[in-house]
Amino acid sequence: MTARPLASVSIDLDNLWAYLKTHGDPDWDRYPSFLPSAVPRLLEVFGDLRLTTTVFAVGADVVREDGAKAVNEIVAAGHEIGNHSFGHEPWLHRYSRARLEEELRLTDDAIVAAGGPLPLGFRGPGFSLTRELVEVLAERGYAYDASTLPTWVGPLARAYHNRTAPRHDDGGGRDELFGGVAQVLAPVHAYRWRTIDGGSIVELPVTTMPLVRTPIHGSYLLRLHEVSPRLARGYFKTALRLCLFRGVSPSLLLHPTDVLGGAEAPGMEFFPGMATPGSRKVAWLAWVLRTLREHFDVVGTGEHVHRTDPRGERSVTRLDSGR
The pLDDT tens digits of the residues spanning 184-209 come to 778 899 999 999 888 899 999 999 99
> CA-CA distance, 35 to 64, in Å (whole number)?
11
Is the per-residue pLDDT at 163 higher than 60?
no
Amino acid 95 reads Y
Amino acid 205 reads P
> Coil, helix or strand for 266?
coil
Q: What is the mean pLDDT of residues 272-293?
A: 96
**Among candidates 71, 88, 72, which has minimal Cα distance to 17?**
88
Confidence of residue 172 (pLDDT cuts 50, 70, 90): very low
Q: Quick one: pLDDT at residue 162?
A: 46
Q: What is the mean pLDDT of residues 13-21?
A: 97
**Beta bridge partner(s), residue 10:** 54, 253
Q: Quick one: pLDDT at residue 262?
A: 94
Q: Quick one: pLDDT at residue 180?
A: 57
Q: How far apart are the first and last CA of the chain?
A: 46
Q: Quick one: pLDDT at residue 312?
A: 86
Q: Quick one: pLDDT at residue 267?
A: 94
Q: Of the ranges 55-59, 125-129, 161-165, 249-253, which one carries the lowest mean pLDDT score?
A: 161-165
Is the per-residue pLDDT at 116 higher than 50?
yes
Q: Quick one: pLDDT at residue 318?
A: 62
**Among candidates 89, 104, 100, 97, which has minimal Cα distance to 141?**
104
Mean pLDDT of the chain, nearest integer: 90
Of 3.10.310.10, 3.40.50.1370, 3.20.20.370, 1.10.1330.10, which CATH number belongs to 9-210+301-322?
Answer: 3.20.20.370
- 171 vs 281 pLDDT, higher one: 281
